[in-house]
Amino acid sequence: MAPHLHTSDFKNPVVRWIDERLGVFTMLKKEYGIFPMPKNANYLWSFGGIALTMLMIMIVTGIVLAMSYNPHVDGAFNSVERIARDVNYGWLLRYVHMNGASFFFIAVYIHICRGMFFGSYHRPRELLWIVGVMIFLLMMATAFMGYSLPWSQMSGWGVTVITSLFSAFPLIGDGLVTWLWGGFSVDNPTLNRFFALHFLMPFVILGVVFIHVWALHLTGSNNPTGIEPKTEKDTLPFHPYFTSKDSLALVVFMTLFMAVVFFAPLALTHADHFKPFDALVTPSHIVPEWYFLPFYAILRAFTVDIAIPFTGIVLLPAKLQGVLAMFGAIILWLFLPWLDGSKVKSALYRPLHRLCLIGLLISFIALGYAGAKPAEGLPVVIGQIATFYYFLHFLVLLPVLSRRETPKALPESISAAVAKKA
């Protein structure tokens, strides 16, 4: 054999010829064939792969939609309607892309909850987690810009409200908003740049997902017990055990997704998303897409300026508080590996912590409810209480409890835990 070729185990001469020169088949076999998975990983571990599938679906449908889309304020709305009515299979492509964003977020929210519950952010997976949070932020930006493209009432006013958030920053705020808009109102320059960025960002996400998976394959997957595999008995090869398990999960998820696409494609959207944008009339009730609602509720939870008493000097206006809290709510996730000081990862062995986490989930759902309602009366109060608990959890309960609570006894190993259950 030629001295510089890497040695390949593959027998098939064509595969072997390529593998000796590129190493891809050896790599694939190592990372997706024999890659050792904790054998107790449950179906919650399937959602990373599902999220990746959704990303691919979004990229593929997005590119073909772009072939018929017209990124100009005069034509955008009509071009999207034309896709849905006249372009061959355009209705399918549009509804898959539109609902695909929702299902992408469903998958990623479950994926994140899994990580929080089983402590997947702990050493040695801190960077894996942080890269994951970055993916989430990029996804939010991408979905937000994508929603502007049909140039409907919801598109235009959603863009107006969210970009205006930046005007809360003192001194630079107004200039920043003008810069984002490329003018003095949300108009054609805004739409053009959002289209360019919406096209680009999924590929950036793809790159960051690559880093995410790279890190995963260095540290290996976490599992429900949160204890690391010790011997070969604790793991199973990825193929065929988890390729088959993940395939089943994927098929079920896709069935639900397609059921919505075919039978209720508009269930998750709003009537005002089907009226062309009118810069002079704001719809009476604008709400973001469901996956942004909890953060939108945090934004609106702050209603009182912080001022020096009796002087009227405002230190922190309500608007700025809301904006900082909204961004802070996600930025906090980046610090989770350090906010949580417990030696034990999984909430299964930390009863009080588990209770607090359930509280967090409830407060997040309550925030989603509050965000969907007009900002008056009871929903405002619910939003404020839930916002309070959300920050209490990350800034007080978690840091204190994780350092005080005595965890339950951990099983000796993953296989011991599995044997006990069986």
Partner 1 sequence: MDSSHSPSHPPYDREKSRRDFLVLTAAAMGAVAAGSAVWPLVDQMNPAADTLALATTEVDVGTLQDGQTLTAIWRGKPVFIHRRSPADLAAIRGEEWQSLRDPQSDEARVQKGHDAFLVLIGVCTHLGCIPMGSKVGQPKGDYNGFFCPCHGSHYDASGRIRKGPAPKNMDVPPYSFLSETLIRIG
Query: Could you give the residue numbers annotated as active site?
Result: 217, 221, 245-246, 289
Q: Which residue has the tokens 């959602």?
A: 47
Between CA 415 and CA 422 the distance in angstroms is 10
Task: Measure the CA–CA gap between 221 and 250, rounded to whole angstroms.
Answer: 19
Kindly state the helix (H) or strand (E) to which residue 69 belongs, with its residue range.
none
Backbone angles phi, psi at 308, to 5 degrees: -75, 125
Q: Which option in ligand HEM, partner 1, none does residue 317 bind, with CB closer than 5 to 8 A by kind?
A: partner 1
Check binding of 133 to ligand HEM (CB under 6 A): yes
Q: Give the nearer residue to ligand HEM in terms of CB position, either 18 or 201.
A: 201
Q: What angle do CA 55, 59, 61 make, to 5 degrees?
A: 115
Site residues (CB under 8 A) for partner 1, limited to 189-248: 189, 193
- Which listed residue (155, 160, 222, 363) binds ligand HEM by CB under 6 A? 222
Structure tokens at 275: 């009226």
Binding-site member from 35, 47, 105, 253 for ligand HEM (CB under 6 A): 47
CA dist 87 and 89 (Å) reads 6
Q: How far is the CB of 213 from ligand HEM (least distance, A)?
A: 6
β-pairing verdict for 313-316 and 306-308? antiparallel
Q: Are 289 and 274 in contact (CB under 8 A)?
A: no
Whole-angstrom CA distances from 416 to 39, 78, 229 are 11, 62, 11
Of 95, 129, 199, 389, the one binding ligand HEM by CB under 6 A: 129
Interacting positions 279-338 with partner 1 (CB under 8 A):
279-282, 284-286, 300, 303, 305, 312, 317-319, 322
Token representation of residue 391: 């920050």
Q: Which is nearer to ligand HEM, 45 or 151 (CB)?
A: 45
Considering CB distances under 5 to 8 angstroms, the limit depending on partner class, which of partner 1, ligand HEM, none binds residue 353?
A: none
Residue 263 CB, shortest distance to partner 1, in Å, is 33
**Cβ neighbour number for residue 262 with a 10 Å cutoff:** 12
**The one segment of 201-209, 340-348, 368-376, 400-408 that binds partner 1 by CB under 8 A:** 368-376
- Lay out the site mask for partner 1 across 136-165 (x = CB under 8 A, - = otherwise): ---------------------x--xxxxxx
Residue 160 interacts with, from ligand HEM, partner 1, none (CB under 5-8 Å by kind)? partner 1
Q: Is the dihedral of CA 189, 294, 263, 260 positive or negative?
A: positive
Which of ligand HEM, partner 1, none lies near 257, with the C-beta cut-off 5 to 8 A by kind? none
Work out whether 128 is an interface residue with ligand HEM (CB under 6 A): yes
Nearer to partner 1, 148 or 223 (CB): 148
Fill in the per-residue mask, 98 to 117: x = in contact with ligand HEM (CB under 6 A), - = not in contact. Answer: ----------x--xx--x--
Query: HSE-up of 193 (CA within 13 Å, CB side)?
Result: 10
| Alpha-carbon span 82 to 253, nearest angstrom | 29
Q: SS3 sequence, 27-93? A: HHHHHHHCCEEECCCCHHHHHHHHHHHHHHHHHHHHHHHHCCCCCCCCCHHHHHHHHHHCCCCHHHH
Stretch near ligand HEM under the rule CB under 6 A, chosen from 28-36, 134-142, 230-238, 253-261: 134-142
Hey, which residues between 297 and 336 contact ligand HEM (CB under 6 A)? 333
The pair of structure tokens assigned to 117 is 């519950």
- Exposed e or buried b for every residue in 310-341, given b needs 16+ CB within 10 A? eeeeeeebbbbbbbbbbeebeebbbbbbebbe
Q: Which is nearer to ligand HEM, 125 or 350 (CB)?
A: 125
DSSP track, 323-343: HHHHHHHHHHHHTHHHH---S
Q: Rule CB under 6 A: which residues touch ligand HEM?
A: 45, 47-49, 51-52, 55, 108, 111-112, 115, 120-121, 125, 128-129, 132-133, 135-136, 139, 205, 209, 212-213, 216, 221-222, 333
- Under the rule (CB under 8 A), what is the footprint of partner 1? 157, 160-165, 167, 178-187, 189, 193, 279-282, 284-286, 300, 303, 305, 312, 317-319, 322, 374-376
